[in-house]
Amino acid sequence: MTFIIKPITSEIRSAVTEKVTESWRSPYVVSMGVLRDTREQPGFAAMAEKEPVGYVFYSIADNDCEITVLESLVERRGIGGALINAVIEAAKENGCRRVWLVTTNDNIHAIRFYQRFGMSLRTVHINSMDAARKLKPEIPLTGDNDIPIAHEFEFELYI
């Protein structure tokens, strides 16, 4: 499968929002106690023909760039890595020194992926998902492998 990485412009935003909503139960995402509407965030999509096969959103503050959501819909084809690399380039252009993100404790696959990509664990936010659920009650109680979703693991990469 071939794909190209594109900034999420108005032309493709609604197709991407549909995928976000299917995967995360709404267009809203929560990280570190902050609720964000992906429909208003900058991001990139991996497009195969006219179909999004992956997307990433990010938020820049204080010379840091947070990846607020990343998903590859066709795994092990390089889409996840290509999307992070697109954010790294955007972060550099905006004068950022650090790209960071959180993922939940159940997401063993993502925890592996980020470390294989070269990111380092910075900290674990214990029981942070209690506050996240107050903002987004749709967040399930258990995740991958029926592991209770309780904590956020923070990963970072200096660029």
Ligand X SMILES: CC(C)(COP(=O)(O)OP(=O)(O)OC[C@H]1O[C@@H](n2cnc3c(N)ncnc32)[C@H](O)[C@@H]1OP(=O)(O)O)[C@@H](O)C(=O)NCCC(=O)NCCS
Binding residues for ligand X, rule: CB under 6 A, are 70-72, 75-81, 103, 107, 109-110, 113, 116
C-beta of 118: minimal distance to ligand X in Å? 10
Cβ burial, residue 50 (10 Å; 0-12/13-18/19+): exposed
For the record, the structure tokens of 56 come out as: 């990433």
Please state the closest distance from residue 114 (CB atom) to ligand X, in A.
8
For ligand X, give the closer residue by CB, 65 or 95: 65
Q: 3-class DSSP state for residue 67?
A: strand
For the CB of residue 80, give the shortest distance to ligand X in the complex, in Å. 2
Residue number, 38 or 103, with CB nearest to ligand X? 103
Query: In the numeric block, which tokens belong to residue 102?
Result: 């959180």
Q: What share of the chain is helix, strand, coil (3-state, %, to 5)?
A: 35, 40, 30
The β-bridge relationship of strands 98-104 and 64-72 is parallel
Nearest distance, CB of residue 84 and ligand X, angstroms: 8
Q: Which residue is nearest to ligand X (CB)?
A: 80
Give the nearer residue to ligand X in terms of CB position, either 13 or 143. Answer: 143
| Whether the Cβ atoms of residue 18 and residue 45 lie closer than 8 Å to each other | no
**95/146 with CB nearer ligand X:** 146
